[in-house]
Structure 1
Amino acid sequence: MSVLASIIHRMLDNTVLGTLKDGLDTVTCIKCLGGTLSQVQLYDLNPSFSSDRPVDALTEGITPDSLWRRYSEFELLRNYLLVTYPFVVVAPLPEKRAEIVWHKLSADNMDPDFVERRRVGLENFLHRVASHPVLCNDNIFNIFLTEDKDWKEMVYETGFQAKADSRLKAVNAAFRVKNPDGRFTELKHYSDELQTVLSQLLRVRARVADRLYGVYKVHGNYGRVFSEWSAIEKEMGDGLQSAGHHMDAYAASVDDILEEEEHYADQLKEYLFYTDALRAVCRKHELTQFELEMVALDLACKKQQKEELVTGTVRTFSLKGMTSKLFGQETAEQREAKLQVLEQQLKEGEEAVKEKNTESDEFVKTAWVDIERFKDQKDRDLKEALISYAVMQISMCKKGIQVWTNAKECFNKM
């Protein structure tokens, strides 16, 4: 049993994203059991990392313990997964630049706190893929974790870019499909509504964080005033100074509190970005359904042409009907030759319809299984995140009560 270690150190626009086995506090180890990526575990190792430390040369034929990956390489991996597994709700990547943040938080993509949160997000992306029942078996994902060199070339050799559907084609299918699956239509509307709700929730949270920051910092003014007051009092001085210290400590704690809040905000953002993955599955279904309808329509046209050719009557206005009236009917030999061509086209059309029907049914079946898996995951994760956020808020309020209780005791001792 071999262990594939993939550790995400930091990701900047023009810097390399490192994965060193003995470099960071948190290490993402993906155990390879029987050739199948099946389990993701976290281990704490000795944090003695230096960004200037060189990577040891890799021994040929041995799986490396450390890899370097850029953010763009994660994007390439995800794009490959989206195209190769269109029926899967592929986990999103963390945001490249901070969005929907409270104004005191740096939006700089090189800010150390933001880089660390993005590192956690990239690590979470690997967890999501490695724990997925289908994606974990993908060879390219395995190569992403194990091959230090030429893995990009291996991705491009799969030809996934040629399989990617154009955005215009998908939009065209969405407007022209005649018999959409109601479940996917409902899912598409749900993803739009979920995106709206989560966006509003994150914006409300950002506004609350701004006001909370102000309230905490005002307590710092309490601390300053009490300290200044204590300097002019003899009997009351010690009590006022102690109360001022409690207020200062309370005011200083807001930075850690709001940084912890960002962790929960990032969990909500993950599902905000998941809505795009849901819509991608819906677009693929619309495109599959549209292609099926086009093939079926073409087959119906061919059958009508055959009927008109056999009976010699044209039921609808067409160029063929006009030419027949102008230049006379076709000879029996010409009609027979056209019938043979139409027979062959009908056989091919029936095979195409059968193939597209099978493809559509298989897509719906596999996609819906993954959608149900995603729903269970979403309900579980969001429930846990919201409960943890509520617990954090309760703890924060208790600390505030404790600060004022301590201040009250200081005042009583004066």
Structure 2
Amino acid sequence: MTENNFFLKKIEISVSEAEKRTGRNAVNMQETYTAYLVETRSAERADSQSVLTDSLWRRYSEFELLRNYLLVCYPHIVVPPLPEKRAEFVWHKLSADNMDPDFVERRRIGLENFLLRVASHPVLCRDKIFYLFLTQEGNWKETVNETGFQLKADSRLKALNATFRVKNPDKRFTELKHYSDELQSVISHLLRVRARVADRLYGVYKVHGNYGRVFSEWSAIEKEMGDGLQSAGHHMDVYASSIDDILEDEEHYADQLKEYLFYAEALRAVCRKHELMQYDLETAAQDLASKKQQCEELATGTVRTFSLKGMTTKLFGQEAPEQREARIKVLEEQIGEGEQQLKSKNLEGREFVKNAWADIERFKEQKNRDLKEALISYAVMQISMCRKGIQVWTNAKECFSKM
């Protein structure tokens, strides 16, 4: 829908706020959930009029439904992930409760980022269901379900079967699958290390509060040194309390890494779809070869391999020529259909590989750019934090010098 693509290029998308609500679920039980306000506004003003803004509320489950729809309908695309439903890899003083205000705020930012990722994608931004997600509050879920996308979804059992039974896997997708596993492992380990460092840093900063208390107590018994000790204690107290805001800000950079932790699964989803297509192709080719062999055996009267039909023929004799001709005719028709089906699957497979690889290259450029930016920003933040620590001790030194 080119008009949707045009529309999305002309609007700004934001998830501006979150609200705790109480309602009843599908089984009529009361539940507490968080709703998010999705706002879209025109990026251009027409005839000096005010900017037009549309807004609607969405639950996290509706974001999940949108993403599941995109995964099924665009199997060759690395679909952007959603932020985590419950907090993982957090330092111990940060709540992992999914209703905690700080976590809800971080998830709000993540949901906004998800919508912006989809809106900036050259293919996904054109989708009608995505357009309606932004503009149609009532009956949106019904509209999604009416597309029948669930019927196109591949079962996990079928995907697992394809993984182990594909005879000629594409080396590029096999390597990509291994890369996604390694990427997920590396980022998981990095996030665990960061959480441990944050815990220890939190302790170190808070212990500096003891300096503040001791200096303040000491100042009470000193006449000439009292003011200097009191001021130094104040600097230590400020230093100790600053770590809460520092580590909460640091979670922003952790969330940027987490996005690519979840992107690893999106990469694997593309690989699994290719395995399924390859498995279907090989199954169709095997079935066609089997029918051609049957047709040749009937036409020549020779049996190349052991079969129940061959044993039956030996025991009860050959079937009548009319029966054989009829069977040959049926097989020839099935062979014709099978050849067309195989040709169609080959074309579909080549098209999938072409489109998937183009999107994977696009994803790689995005990943390299984003992770580079996130790691640099994290390093800059650590440098800034260290400079503030040096400044605190510099101020304390001046206080001691004036005693």
Partner of 1:241: 230
Partner of 2:103: 114
Partner of 1:59: none
Contact kept? 1:6, 1:145, Cα under 8 Å: no
Gapped runs of 5+ residues in structure 2? 1-6, 21-30, 45-50
Judged with a 3 Å threshold, the aligned counterparts in structure 2 of structure 1 residues 271 and 398 are, in CA distance, closer, same or farther, namely same
SS in 1 for 2:76: coil
Structure 2 CA distance, aligned partners of 1:31 and 1:350? 52
Q: TM (normalized to structure 1)?
A: 0.89
Query: Deviation of residue 148 (structure 1)?
Result: 1.5
Partner of 2:48: none
Contact kept? 1:216, 1:250, Cα under 8 Å: yes
Query: Deviation of residue 365 (structure 1)?
Result: 0.6
Query: Deviation of residue 8 (structure 1)?
Result: 4.2
Query: Deviation of residue 14 (structure 1)?
Result: 2.8
Structure 2 CA distance, aligned partners of 1:339 and 1:65? 65
What amino acid does structure 2 have at the position aligned with 1:97?
Answer: R
Q: TM (normalized to structure 2)?
A: 0.91
Structure 1 CA distance, aligned partners of 2:358 and 2:234? 57
SS in 1 for 2:18: coil
Partner of 2:208: 219
SS in 2 for 1:15: strand
Judged with a 3 Å threshold, the aligned counterparts in structure 2 of structure 1 residues 6 and 153 are, in CA distance, closer, same or farther, namely farther
Superposed CA RMSD in Å reads 1.8
Partner of 1:267: 256
Q: Does 1:7 align with 2:18?
A: no
Deviations 1:358-408 (A, max 9, x none): 111111110111111111111100000000000000000011111111111
Partner of 1:68: 57
Judged with a 3 Å threshold, the aligned counterparts in structure 2 of structure 1 residues 387 and 132 are, in CA distance, closer, same or farther, namely same
Contact kept? 2:41, 2:54, Cα under 8 Å: no
Judged with a 3 Å threshold, the aligned counterparts in structure 2 of structure 1 residues 261 and 170 are, in CA distance, closer, same or farther, namely same
Query: Deviation of residue 177 (structure 1)?
Result: 0.4
Q: Percent identity?
A: 77
Judged with a 3 Å threshold, the aligned counterparts in structure 2 of structure 1 residues 207 and 15 are, in CA distance, closer, same or farther, namely same
Contact kept? 2:211, 2:233, Cα under 8 Å: yes
- State how 1:4-153 maps to structure 2 within 5 Å: 6-10=14-18, 14-19=32-37, 29=41, 65-153=54-142
Deviations 1:184-213 (A, max 9, x none): 000000111111110000000000000000
Q: Does 1:299 align with 2:307?
A: no
Q: Does 1:326 align with 2:315?
A: yes
- Alignment partner of 1:386 out of 359, 371, 375: 375
SS in 2 for 1:17: strand
Structure 2 CA distance, aligned partners of 1:371 and 1:265? 24
Deviations 1:232-288 (A, max 9, x none): 101101111111111111111101110111000000111101111111111000000
Judged with a 3 Å threshold, the aligned counterparts in structure 2 of structure 1 residues 11 and 314 are, in CA distance, closer, same or farther, namely farther
Query: Deviation of residue 18 (structure 1)?
Result: 3.6
SS in 2 for 1:10: strand
SS in 2 for 1:67: strand
Judged with a 3 Å threshold, the aligned counterparts in structure 2 of structure 1 residues 264 and 172 are, in CA distance, closer, same or farther, namely same
Which has the higher mean CA deviation after the structures are superposed, 311-320 or 331-340? 331-340
Contact kept? 2:215, 2:233, Cα under 8 Å: yes
What amino acid does structure 2 have at the position aligned with 1:19?
Answer: L
SS in 1 for 2:17: coil
What amino acid does structure 2 have at the position aligned with 1:398?
Answer: R
Contact kept? 1:240, 1:410, Cα under 8 Å: yes
SS in 1 for 2:199: helix
Contact kept? 2:34, 2:99, Cα under 8 Å: no
Q: Does 1:361 align with 2:379?
A: no
SS in 1 for 2:319: coil
Contact kept? 1:11, 1:70, Cα under 8 Å: no
Query: Deviation of residue 11 (structure 1)?
Result: 6.2
